[in-house]
């Protein structure tokens, strides 16, 4: 078993049981290793969590960066980034669930390291929102608050999305983008 497969199994176990309820023995059993062999790869459960969080952030950054750099209006970039984010959530649900739901389980020192990286990803989104404000596409006056609201909606999808449900992840992304970009209020038609 290579390290990527090992991390995938770790993400699955932690996603299912929660970080605090998961033991190193649980992880070792999930990957058919002796607990001592697991310590050959990782020094602690905290290290596993940090590696998973970094892996998730790296994956999202890798997928979102090319979209953020496109020479497109902010609304088109934001819509594409929302779709990409939710598609990634759907494809790598366990890993993204660990990122969104378990980061608070890091000890203080590791949490501080993680937050710096997480904030970089948030700034990427905020930059697009600010671009839309600067270009008079978005009527928001607070890019930071708007970005956090948007990420809150996207992140929370992990708790209720069902791949067998009536909507595909792309349809959910498009609907969410429509709500954010067009608002909920009906506009009178001529």
Q: Coil, strand, or helix at residue 182? A: helix
Provide the pLDDT for residue 35. 87
Residue 117 lies in a domain: yes
Residue 120 lies in a domain: yes
Provide the pLDDT for residue 130. 97
Domain with 86, as residue range(s), is 44-182
pLDDT 10s digits, 27-85: 999 988 888 888 888 999 999 999 999 999 999 999 999 999 999 999 999 999 999 99
Residue 71 lies in a domain: yes
pLDDT 10s digits, 132-154: 999 999 999 999 999 999 999 99
Residue 163 lies in a domain: yes
Specify whether the CB–CB gap between 90 and 172 falls below 8 A. no
User: Would you say residue 104 has pLDDT above 80?
Assistant: yes
Cα–Cα distance, 183 to 178 (Å, whole number) = 7
Structural domain count of the chain: 1
Residue 33 lies in a domain: no
Residue 49 lies in a domain: yes
Provide the pLDDT for residue 4. 85
Residue 67 lies in a domain: yes
Overall average pLDDT of the 10-20 stretch: 96
- Mean pLDDT (the chain) is 94
Which CATH number covers residue 77?
Answer: 1.10.357.10
Residue 153 lies in a domain: yes
Tell me how far CA of residue 14 lies from CA of 11, 23, 26, 58, 136, in angstroms. Answer: 5, 9, 9, 19, 43
User: Would you say residue 185 has pLDDT above 80?
Assistant: no
State the pTM of this model: 0.90
Radius of gyration of the chain (CA): 19
Enumerate helices (H) and strands (E) in the chain, giving the number of each. 9, 0
């Amino acid at each position: 078993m290579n390290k990527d497969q090992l991390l995938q199994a770790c993400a699955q176990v932690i996603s299912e049981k929660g970080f605090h309820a998961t033991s190193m023995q649980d992880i070792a059993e999930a990957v058919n290793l002796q607990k001592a062999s697991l310590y050959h790869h990782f020094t602690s459960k905290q290290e596993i969590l940090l590696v998973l969080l970094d892996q998730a952030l790296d994956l999202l950054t890798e997928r979102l960066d090319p979209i953020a750099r496109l020479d497109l209006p902010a609304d088109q970039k934001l819509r594409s980034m929302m779709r990409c984010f939710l598609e990634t959530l759907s494809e790598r649900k366990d890993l993204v669930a660990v990122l969104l739901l378990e980061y608070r389980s890091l000890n203080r020192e590791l949490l501080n390291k993680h937050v710096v990286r997480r904030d970089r990803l948030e700034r990427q989104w905020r930059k697009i929102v600010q671009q839309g404000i600067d270009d008079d596409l978005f009527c928001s006056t607070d890019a930071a608050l708007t970005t956090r609201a948007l990420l809150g909606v996207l992140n929370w999808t992990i708790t209720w999305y069902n791949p067998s449900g009536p909507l595909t992840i792309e349809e959910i992304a498009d609907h969410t983008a429509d709500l954010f970009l067009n608002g909920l209020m009906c506009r009178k038609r001529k």
